[in-house]
A and B are shown apart, each in its own frame.
Chain A
Amino acid sequence: MKPGAGSHCWKEFIQTLRDGDEFLSALTSLILIVVAAGLAFAGGGAYSSRVLLGVILPYAAMAAFLAGIVYRVLKWAAAPVPFHIPTTCGQQNSLPWIKSSWIESPHTRLGVAVRMALEILLFRSLFRNSRAQLREGPRLLYVENKWLWLGALAFHWSMLIIVLRHLRYFVVPVPRFILGMDAVDGFFQIGAPQLLLTDVIIVAALLFLLQRRLTNPQVRYISLFSDYLALFLLLGIAVSGILMRYFFKVDLEGIKQLAVGLVTFSPIVPADIGPLFFVHLALVSFLLAYFPFSKLVHMGGIFLSPTRNLANDSRMLRHVNPWDYPVKVHTYQEWEKEFHDKMKAAGMPLERE
């Protein structure tokens, strides 16, 4: 940027952002999250902004989340699956004496269900990951590489457990399975309050994914502003939550009142619970509202993926295309007419002599 050209400079910056630049993308998304957090932090003090942050924002975010998700899923579901295109990753079911791979190349509904479960719960396909290296020779090597799988799995499972754990704030009395989950999560019994494993894991996993995005040259090259935004947003949520739990105590009773009020549609304007809580809540609201309009919708999309959720049975059962239409073909009669004499000379059978 040129010095001393205030508005021009600003325009150029916006333009660079629009064009997209990897490091600038990362930095801007970080700044955006920090600013959002800062605003929420400052807003936690005043009554009016507490109404905004504690009542209006969560409802608006939840509404955007639900409406957005419903819209997305309906949009996907409304588009038909005209052709039967599973990606087969194992032996087909053919002759009885050939062992078929009933999960990787499923021909039954059960097989498909197991394949989908493995994909959704354990990231089966990511587990195949390897890293290619080109050596002298030339010689191509494919080195095992499970880090992405491990990082992704660690993040998603921690996230799920943490979300479930948060039910304790919304439900009275706290369900037993949540208490049990907490006990397992706090297995190591370090510190007071007990250190929860998922808190450590989610931050470590997010930092790993961020580090990978910034240092792996190929991944950095393809990363967009929104990729960094999602990571910083999740990190912001995790860190603000951790700070509240372990370092800066907040009024848990007040939080529970607010939460129960929100879910029972009898919201109360919260007391001054502590600014950190509002940071947390604001970022969660941000996430909810952003979710349906970003790549984060992959959570819902995976269920509908036609290369994974269809059985490899397309020669056994006919798949119907709802928008099938007749096309112009070259019929046998037209064909025979064109080549009639040559065929006759060659002594080939004909429909019309």
Chain B
Amino acid sequence: MSEAAPKPEELVQINYDPPRRDWRDAHVDYRKGTFCYSAAAKNLQYLDLPNPRDWQPFDKDWKLPPNWRETILQGMKERLDKFRSFRLFMDICVRCGACADKCHFFLGSADPKNMPVLRAELLRSVYRRYFTLSGRIFRGLAGGRELTEDVLKEWFYYFYQCTECRRCSVFCPFGIDTAEITMMVRELLNLVGVNTNWVLEPAANCFRTGNHLGIQPHGFKDSIDFAVDELEEITGIRVEAPINRKGAEILFIVPSADYFGTPHYYTLLGYLMLFHEIGLDYTFSAYASEGGNFGLFSSHEMMKRLNAKMYAEAQRLGVKWILGGECGHMWRVVHQYMNTMNGPADFLEEPVSPITGTRFENADATKMVHICEFTSDLIHNNKLKLDPRRNDHWKVTFHDSCNPARAMGLLEEPRYILRNVSNQFYEMPENTIREQTFCCGSGAGLGTDENIEMRLRGGLPRANAVKHVRDKHGVNLLTCICAIDKATLPTALEYWTPGVEVGGIHELVGNALVMKGEQERTTDLRGEPLHQKEAAVHA
């Protein structure tokens, strides 16, 4: 946070009643802390994207190509013909306003253009003006708006103030999904070289090295080896963590933050312990060393380009199926896009758990299983020896990450695991969890420091629900299954709800897992001392 950061009380001096100012006025004030910086030219060049140049959103001149308006309108026309969702969502909104106060950015900022309906109208007004008969004739009277440079700048501001979390889509009587609209606008902006570095640098890194962080293969190996060493200290057991091993049964893919970020890292330790304990025949890949996909936040094409590595690597290594770690938008891509984009994966087999024999029929075609599905099946079949008391220092709540909740329906699996590895699990209020869960406020490529004010505003509804269980039950750990959550919620919670840490489900699995031949555990995976006295009493 910069030194001029406002206090929480100051940040919520907001009023949900919109101002008198007409929303059709497109002018945006690019205020520090509320937007992301532009993408560096080198990243555009690496990815063969148009119009690489030096510019910033607060510049007056964005150095757009001379024919930018035609390019955008032509791009709209193409996408209206290619995506039924796009055309339909442009046509059928009745502006009932049910979505208005469902967006975390509206709830935290009270900016009326953060009401999902109005965010969509920013594009819809241009659609009406150029693509409908009534709009071409009656212009403003039919709700149309000219496409000006100010409108383009307004798009950039507000469509990078949407985390594609899909909460509004749950409440919309027609299922209009703002994520879909945001994806369209970001694609359009990409056509004229208007994009953010926080999205395109990870994308360029991922394209080159295999992961968002740009870690090269030997660096990847170092990280994994380091984790193996550290685990030996904690448990006394040296686990295997193979990389690029041909002939393994399962390819395991995690978001890169798991091996390079905190608190993600403790989740990685949990995976490694689990796989050792059940004797899983698996391998990591340094080529497919990223589960996440920032292409999703850029364009469908970029999503496909980055995602292609998963199946390609599974085929090269000759595995039977793929297992995926804790990550939110990764699972949106895997569950709803991967097979369509880069399948069919007919070189793989139907996923079967080698430990329990369970067939994961729900992953029959895509051939990729979520780690929470895998682990909850192990627990259900009594394959793990768990001591939940080793997590007694944590009072736990579970934050449903947007994509596993609203694009997969992965709701019970993580809860089932939690109930088995923790004695103290408390749910947040029901309109803030499961399909109604609130975004961390930093998803879809917005989690950068220069955007901190907007991130904190967007994080308010989630943090507020955490505060409720913190004050009521003494909750001190928020668990989640998303790398962006783990990276950004610590900041949001520290600001709004101090005293609550963030961790992964498999971190707690690792803590609770009783391993054969392990030394007596004196600390948890974070190196925090365990409450031995309590444990002794319970024993």
Contacts and interface: CB of A to CB of B under 8 A. Distances in A.
Interface in A32-87: 72, 75-85, 87
A88 B91 contact: no
B349 interface: no
Contact of A222 (B115, B180, B245, B316): B115
Given A20-B24, A346-B217, A226 B431 contact: no
Given A19-B22, A222-B97, A314 B366 contact: yes
B366 A315 contact: yes
Nearest to B368: A315
Given A85-B180, A308-B174, A332-B313, 14 more contacts: A88-B408, A104-B435, A119-B173, A130-B431, A217-B16, A302-B175, A305-B88, A305-B174, A323-B82, A324-B340, A330-B309, A339-B216, A349-B243, A349-B246
Interface of A: 17-21, 72, 75-85, 87-95, 97-101, 104-105, 107, 119, 123, 125-126, 128-132, 134, 138-140, 142, 148, 152, 216-219, 221-227, 293-295, 297-298, 301-302, 304-308, 312-321, 323-324, 327-332, 335-336, 338-339, 342-343, 345-346, 348-349
19 contacts: A76-B84, A81-B85, A84-B340, A100-B409, A101-B409, A126-B98, A131-B101, A134-B107, A138-B8, A138-B9, A216-B97, A219-B100, A304-B88, A327-B304, A329-B305, A330-B207, A332-B316, A343-B217, A343-B218
B409 A302 contact: no
A87 B218 contact: no
Contacts of A217: 16-18
Indicate the member of A82, A94, A312 with the most B CB atoms within 10 Å.
A94
Contacts of A18: 138-141
B340 A329 contact: no
Given A20-B143, A88-B409, A125 B287 contact: no
B121 interface: yes
A125 B171 contact: yes
Contacts of A94: 360, 362, 373, 410, 413
Contacts of B362: 92-94, 107, 313, 315-316
Majority DSSP secondary structure for residues of B touching A: helix
Interface in B137-184: 138-143, 166, 169-177, 180
Interface string B406-444: 111111110010000000000001011011100000000
A332 B365 contact: no
Contacts of A330: 207-208, 305, 309
Indicate the member of B24, B143, B358 with the most A CB atoms within 10 Å.
B143
Majority DSSP secondary structure for residues of A touching B: loop
Contacts of B432: 142
Interface string B262-284: 00000000000000000000000
